[in-house]
Amino acid sequence: MNVESISMLLLGVSALVVLLVHAFLVLCESSMIKIRYGQAQGNALEALRLRPDVSSLLENGYLVGRVSRIGKTLCAMCFGLLLLPLIDGLSAGTGWVASGSLFLPPLLFICAFFVYFVISEIVPRGASMRDPVLGLRRSYRVFLLFRLFVMPTMLLLRGLKRLHFKRIGVDGEDELDPLDVDVQIRAMGEDSTELSPVVRKIFDRTLQMQNLVVHDVLLPRNQVVIYDLNESLEANLRTMKEAGHTRFPLCRGDLDACIGIIHIKDIFRQRGEANQVNPQDLKRSISQFPQETSLEEALQRMLRAKFHMALVSDEFGRVIGLITLESILESLVGDIQDEFDSDEEQVIPMQEPDTFKVSGLTPLHDIEEALGLEVSNEDVSTIGGLVTAELGYIPEIGETLCVSGMRIEVIEVDERRVISVHLEKEGVALSDNPEPD
């Protein structure tokens, strides 16, 4: 075998290696997308997630996307550079060029293109669609090895990109993750002309739900109305009538001694004298979640068990509040009101700019949106809870405090909670008349 034949063989082997590297990169990327879309389940996937390298890839889709883009570009360029001497050598070896025929080089190029596309794109994408878990298992090692190889190139390109973005006034941090499930689903929603604004809003809320925990939607402990077994039936019925709810935690004194849930209709369905009703005979089971339980998990468990209400506990096991099925659904579709709910607005603008009369039950995220601020306290979910948490006690009317860029004046309160406040950005003088415009 002469030197020219050896050179041609090495070129052919190198081109095949480039094809395979490209194919493994596509297989890894496509399998990652399928898995992150939730199109793969089962024990095989859970076993694969236990591998630290795979778990790291699944959590860092942006890195996978960048490596794949750079890798596929490099492979295409390398294959083209290897293809030119291969075509030239094959043409010269057959003598077609010498005989005046110019059809062979274009024909070889077209054949090489189809071979490249089939081997490096169609075959690996088909494999990932058939079994993404197996595809990721077979390709992730090649991907990790290739990532080490291209890391210097990635760092150089990242520096050049930042320099260019800075020069043209673009924030490079806003670049989207090509493997991000949220981004891709939102893009599909935006591209669809059949989705109404309401559906798109619910779509976005559903995607945001994976970042929420039960603590984000709980009703704080001091706002929970209970059926107290230490009180008489008549006293409890008066409390239940004032609250206007249908389900109440059944407790001995407070939520820490909750033994279940009682439904008001079960009381009135009982025959005989009212004083003969034993509420413990009417109790229903109640579940309890740690405060860091994901909202998605809580929703699934409550639907499966047909619970409408559940307690929420802190890391020490102390009950800090409760969540309801309605509060979880409101995180998806917005506020749900029936004929018994008050139509009173929670955030009422005042005459002065950036000043509001606010209900104590107003969620903090609504306050942040209205004032363009970010509340630093993550332990509470309502403005009334924020006031109580910052002061450490139930305040009196007229008390003020400054927190997270806001100045808050308590204007209505009872023995259990803050009912309403006057709120404004710091630096704006409080109005003498806190009535709405």
pLDDT digits (tens, 9 = 90+) for 343-397: 445 667 666 777 788 888 777 777 777 777 777 776 667 788 888 888 888 888 8
For the residues 16-45, what does the mean pLDDT come to? 80
Pick the CATH number of 214-333 from 3.40.50.1820, 3.30.300.130, 3.30.70.580, 3.10.580.10: 3.10.580.10
Confidence of residue 430 (pLDDT cuts 50, 70, 90): very low
Confidence of residue 175 (pLDDT cuts 50, 70, 90): low
For the residues 164-175, what does the mean pLDDT come to? 68
pLDDT digits (tens, 9 = 90+) for 227-249: 999 988 888 888 888 877 788 99
Whole-angstrom Cα distance, residue 26 to residue 136?
10
432 pLDDT above the threshold of 50: no
Whole-angstrom Cα distance, residue 303 to residue 329?
11
Whole-angstrom Cα distance, residue 298 to residue 291?
10
Task: Tell the residue number behind the tokens 């063989």, with chain if given.
Answer: 9
| Higher-scoring residue by pLDDT: 375, 146 | 146
User: How far is the first Cα of the chain from the last one, in angstroms, to the nearest whole number?
Assistant: 95
Distances (CA, A) of 308 to 69, 108, 157, 260, 327: 48, 69, 53, 12, 10
| Higher-scoring residue by pLDDT: 269, 387 | 387
pLDDT score of 259: 92
- Which of 51-55, 99-103, 108-112, 399-403 is the most confident on average? 399-403
Query: Would you put residue 255 in left (φ > 0), alpha (ψ -120 to 50) or beta?
Result: alpha
434 pLDDT above the threshold of 50: no
Whole-angstrom Cα distance, residue 403 to residue 21?
55
Q: Which residue ranges make up each domain of the chain?
A: 3-172, 181-211, 214-333, 347-425
279 pLDDT above the threshold of 90: no
273 pLDDT above the threshold of 90: no
- Collapsing DSSP to helix, strand or coil, 264 comes out as helix
CATH level 3 topology of 347-425: 3.30.465
Nearest to 416, CA basis, from 360, 378, 366: 360
Percent of the chain with pLDDT over 70: 75
pLDDT score of 195: 55
Whole-angstrom Cα distance, residue 424 to residue 402?
10
191 pLDDT above the threshold of 70: no
Whole-angstrom Cα distance, residue 119 to residue 27?
11
- Collapsing DSSP to helix, strand or coil, 319 comes out as strand
Nearest to 211, CA basis, from 45, 353, 331: 331
399 pLDDT above the threshold of 80: yes
302 pLDDT above the threshold of 90: no
pLDDT score of 347: 67
The contacts of residue 306 (CB under 8 Å, 6+ apart) are: none
Contact 249, 229 (CB under 8 A): no
- Collapsing DSSP to helix, strand or coil, 190 comes out as helix
Mean pLDDT for all residues in the chain = 77
97 pLDDT above the threshold of 60: no
Q: Please indicate, yes or no, whether the overall pTM of this predicted structure exceeds 0.85.
A: no
Q: Between the CA atoms of 276, 281, 282 and 287, what dihedral angle is there, to the nearest 10 degrees? A: 150
pLDDT digits (tens, 9 = 90+) for 326-346: 888 777 766 555 434 444 456
Instruction: For residue 430, list its beta bridge partners.
Output: none
pLDDT score of 180: 53
Lowest mean pLDDT among 87-91, 186-190, 405-409: 186-190
For the residues 45-58, what does the mean pLDDT come to? 78
Q: Tell me the residue length of the chain.
A: 437
